[in-house]
Amino acid sequence: MSEKTALKLHPGDNVAIVLVNVEAGAPLSPFDIAAQTQIPRGHKAAVCAIREGEDVVKYGQIIGRASTDIAPGAHVHVHNVSMAEFDRDYAYGQHAKPLEPFTAADRATFQGYRRPDGKVGTRNYVGIVTSVNCSATAARLIAREAEKRGLVDKYPNVDGVVPIIHGAGCCIGTDDEAFYKLQRTVWGFATHPNFATVLMLGLGCEANQIPLMLEVYGNPPKEQFRYYTLQAEGGTRKTVEKGLEWLEQALAYANEATRETIPASELTVALQCGGSDGYSGITANPALGHAVDLLVRNGGTAALAETPEIYGAEHLLTGRAQTRDVGEKLVDLIHWWEEYAAKNGSTMNNNPTPGNKAGGLTTILEKSLGAVAKAGTTNLAGVYKYGEKITAKGLVFVDSPGYDPVSITGEVASGCNMVCFTTGRGSCYGNKPAPSIKIASNTPMFDRMNEDMDINCGTIIDGVETIEEAGRRIFDEMLAVASGKRTLSEQLDVGDAEFAPWQTYAQM
């Protein structure tokens, strides 16, 4: 059998990705056709005849329409594909499909922490969350002193003490969405199920008042939440001392938590891509998408985010929206982003650039499909603001920038108890308290950064496994990591420095 030179991403596709530069006449193995012309690596070839006006289908999705008859083996690109007209129609829910859930007997489980309020954690950390930068050092000093004294080692069920610190929290208005965003984010971490218990530290006079959060969200039980302010306690050292006293009790309390068998429906996985390359959309992303389909069929939840990455192709998601209301919420976000970008002198337009086109991306739909591929194929069940608590099961969307740490901070604040992160160029990301599985799009990068990359999906291009096989592997890894298997970023102790709340206010 000759070497594989082309790859069909979905059974319903009428184009395949060409994996190497091919000359006219070269076989497009494993298909029984030859290239009609020279076709560059990463570009598309027709795997059957496509008549003028017919849909061009990749990822099982329409990416455009044939503007002329296309022969099998022909190069498919801007010269013979035009944008389909349906792309301006949000078609709310018209492409939604019934879910095929696994039967109760087939449903996956993992070993997780069931919290007193019913929420489920995949890790058992103790958190020190700050309302403002002015209390950041006190939080870090408590965690550092705990490390020096070896406190955590005495409590084998506790994963660690995590200071959640940031540069924000004051000199901002307190009555608009920009403020609520920060408030939700800080509070989302303070009540995250991967924390057994949390101490919140403030300065005292900051705009992001702790008592105001308690007023808005309610005051959790004392075993799970306490707060101090530096001004009330008399400064740094006294607060650190008091924090260390709290910590002894907190660690003892957290240590009582034990893992138990939990249905996979309690997993809420943050989806992310960063440092994408030409392979992301055809290997790591669709493989993760398959894992997400498995998760959703198990009753679980996956959160797509990174609103700028779906811009211009939002109808791909509105068409899959469970209800019209869900679809409209997504469109409202899109409009908000247009205004946000414009008033800051930026633009949302991510139409295929000359570089994208040279790489083989023909339409904005194709580009966005690569990003959206990591969300799988199920219906869109909910749309949430940045840091807003996710309440739906299934595939949901959380508004956020594309920038990895800021985006994941919002997803985790929204309740994600695990992260799956695809990358082509390589990432050293990690999160606390949410374990993060990093998935490589190509083998050379996986090999080069093998101490940071948990999973290789370059195997799909290498011909070692199919998208479905890689997806199954990712899903199994989700369950293993949720049950306590430590990711590479956890082994490296990454995650204390990656809390980065999205700041959309004027900093006064």
CB of 309 to its own copies, least distance (A): 9
Q: Which of 17, 96, 141, 270 binds its own copies (CB under 8 A)?
A: 141
Three-state SS sequence of 87-109:
HHCCCCCCCCCCCCCCCHHHCCE
Question: Which lies closer to its own copies via its Cβ, residue 456 or residue 489?
Answer: 489
Residue 349's beta-bridge partner residues? none
Does 138 contact its own copies by CB under 8 A?
Answer: yes
Does 204 contact its own copies by CB under 8 A?
Answer: yes
Residues 442-481 that bind its own copies (CB under 8 A): 448-452
**Residues with Cβ within 8 Å of residue 353, at least 6 apart in sequence:** none
Question: CB–CB of 253/403 below 8 Å?
Answer: no
Contact letters for its own copies, residues 357-386 (x by CB under 8 A): ------------------------------
d(CA 469, CA 17): 19
CB of 10 to Ca ion, least distance (A): 22
Which partner in its own copies, Ca ion, none is near 116 (CB below 5 to 8 A by kind)?
Answer: none
Work out the widest C-alpha separation in the chain, in whole angstroms: 80
Does 425 contact its own copies by CB under 8 A?
Answer: yes
The one segment of 162-170, 180-188, 291-299, 317-325 that binds its own copies by CB under 8 A: 162-170
Q: Which two tokens stand for residue 368?
A: 């966005």
Q: What is the DSSP string of 305-325?
A: --HHHHTT-THHHHTTBSSHH
CB of 135 to its own copies, least distance (A): 7
Does 501 contact its own copies by CB under 8 A?
Answer: yes
d(CA 49, CA 39): 17
Q: Which residue's Cβ has the minimum distance to Ca ion?
A: 274
Q: Which of 51, 97, 335, 343 binds its own copies (CB under 8 A)?
A: 343
CB of 258 to Ca ion, least distance (A): 13
Residues 290-319 that bind its own copies (CB under 8 A): 308
CB of 167 to its own copies, least distance (A): 3
Does 495 contact its own copies by CB under 8 A?
Answer: yes
Residues 163-202 that bind its own copies (CB under 8 A): 165-168, 170-173, 176, 178
d(CA 169, CA 1): 62
The one segment of 44-52, 216-224, 359-367, 424-432 that binds its own copies by CB under 8 A: 424-432
Question: CB–CB of 194/115 below 8 Å?
Answer: no
Amino acid at 310: I
Question: Which lies closer to its own copies via its Cβ, residue 78 or residue 358?
Answer: 358
d(CA 187, CA 181): 10
Residues that bind Ca ion (CB under 5 A): 274, 402, 404
Q: Which two tokens stand for residue 266?
A: 């309690």
Question: Which lies closer to Ca ion via its Cβ, residue 388 or residue 404?
Answer: 404
Question: Which lies closer to its own copies via its Cβ, residue 16 or residue 172?
Answer: 172
CB of 401 to its own copies, least distance (A): 4
Which partner in its own copies, Ca ion, none is near 173 (CB below 5 to 8 A by kind)?
Answer: its own copies
Does 502 contact its own copies by CB under 8 A?
Answer: yes
Question: CB–CB of 13/59 below 8 Å?
Answer: yes
Q: At what angle do helices 210-217 and 177-190 cross, to 10 degrees?
A: 80
Residues 386-405 that bind its own copies (CB under 8 A): 401-405
Does 426 contact its own copies by CB under 8 A?
Answer: yes
Q: Which two tokens stand for residue 292?
A: 């997400």
Of 269, 304, 297, 275, nearest in space to 374 by CA: 304
Q: Kindly report the CA angle at 338 between 337 and 344, in degrees rounded to 5? A: 85
Contact letters for its own copies, residues 40-79 (x by CB under 8 A): ----------------------------------------
Q: Which two tokens stand for residue 246?
A: 């709290």
Question: Which lies closer to its own copies via its Cβ, residue 239 or residue 322?
Answer: 239
Neighbours of 353 (CB within 10 A): 12
- Please report, for residues 22, 317, 461, the alpha-carbon distance to residue 4 in angstroms, rounded to integers and kept in the order given: 12, 33, 9
Does 24 contact its own copies by CB under 8 A?
Answer: no
No. of H helices and E strands in the chain? 16, 21
